[in-house]
């Protein structure tokens, strides 16, 4: 290994391996982090549609909750 491997090229080197909650991961992988729109896949609008239907699915699994974001509006904060 070269010396550079042992240097903290980025202090992020301490990211521990762990099992994260899927919902936290999906918030990040679907809810943010677009830098690029791929070729094949899906315009931005389509991705939003996927996200919305996916969110609806995740909520509908539990049954009764309406999906407040179906309109496309961010969920309102519930703090009074």
Q: Is 36 in the site for another protein (CB under 8 A)?
A: yes
Alpha-carbon torsion 38, 40, 44, 47, what sign? Answer: negative
Q: Is 70 in the site for another protein (CB under 8 A)?
A: no
Size of the site for another protein (CB under 8 A): 55
Return d(Cα 1, Cα 58) in angstroms, integer. 45
Q: Is 45 in the site for another protein (CB under 8 A)?
A: no
The helix or strand, by DSSP H or E, that contains position 7, with its residue range, turns out to be none
Residue ranges in contact with another protein by CB under 8 A: 1-2, 4-5, 9-15, 17, 20-42, 47, 50, 53-55, 57-62, 65, 69, 74-80
């Amino acid at each position: 290994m070269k010396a550079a491997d042992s240097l903290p090229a980025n202090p992020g080197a301490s990211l521990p391996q762990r099992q994260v909650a899927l919902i936290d991961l999906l918030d990040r992988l679907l809810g943010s982090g677009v830098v690029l729109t791929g070729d094949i896949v899906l315009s931005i609008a389509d991705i939003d549609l996927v996200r919305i239907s996916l969110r609806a699915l995740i909520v509908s699994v539990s049954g009764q909750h309406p999906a407040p974001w179906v309109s496309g509006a961010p969920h309102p904060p519930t703090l009074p």
